[in-house]
A and B are shown apart, each in its own frame.
Chain A
């Protein structure tokens, strides 16, 4: 049962990675692309980590998977803020319809 749930979570995660790429390529400016990228950093990697954790019996390894996810979330959030501020300071205006 947890095997199947893990597979579902991992496949969902892969789809969110795909959405990150699609967003990175199709969105019109750096701010919207950041938005797409943060989905890959948080949700997609989180789903993959959760799926693998379900396939894992060893508690220490599950904790390691959780730590990896948390680290990437923290870094991703900070980097998104840094890049967005830098882009604004460079005079890049957010895209408007």
Chain B
């Protein structure tokens, strides 16, 4: 059973590493932010599965903290970074 949880966590980690390609590719800042959000949700799921594997209840608290903070980055991004920042996009930048 432990191995099942660990394998699930490994699958999720591999999954999100592949999704990192979206950070590199962009093209807009919003696209990059999206992979950040996916990473956040995945981190919650990984912590839950690691809790299943180890039974350390504090991991649920860590997952809870991640869950309650899930909106922080995107809200700051939309309210502070992106409203007036077309430069965060890749326009004109060769990648």
Contacts and interface: CB of A to CB of B under 8 A. Distances in A.
Interface of A: 3, 7, 10-11, 13-14, 17-18, 20-21, 24-25, 30, 33-34, 37, 40-41, 44-45, 48-49, 52, 55, 61, 64-65, 67-69, 71-72, 74-76, 78-79, 82-83, 85-87, 89-90, 92
A76 B70 contact: yes
Contacts of A25: 18-19, 21-22
Given A25-B21, A79-B74, A82-B78, 13 more contacts: A11-B8, A17-B42, A21-B38, A33-B22, A40-B42, A41-B41, A48-B48, A52-B49, A67-B67, A68-B48, A68-B64, A76-B41, A86-B83
Contact of B67 (A44, A72, A87, A89): A72
Contacts of A52: 48-49, 51-52
Mostly, the B contact residues are helix
B78 to A, nearest CB: 4
B10 to A, nearest CB: 10
Contacts, number: 125
A80 B60 CA distance: 25
Q: How large is the interface on B (under 10, 10 to 19, 20 to 34, 35 or more residues)?
A: 35 or more
A54 B34 CA distance: 30
A90 B52 contact: no
A14 B67 contact: no
A41 B45 contact: no
A90 B21 contact: no
A45 B41 contact: yes
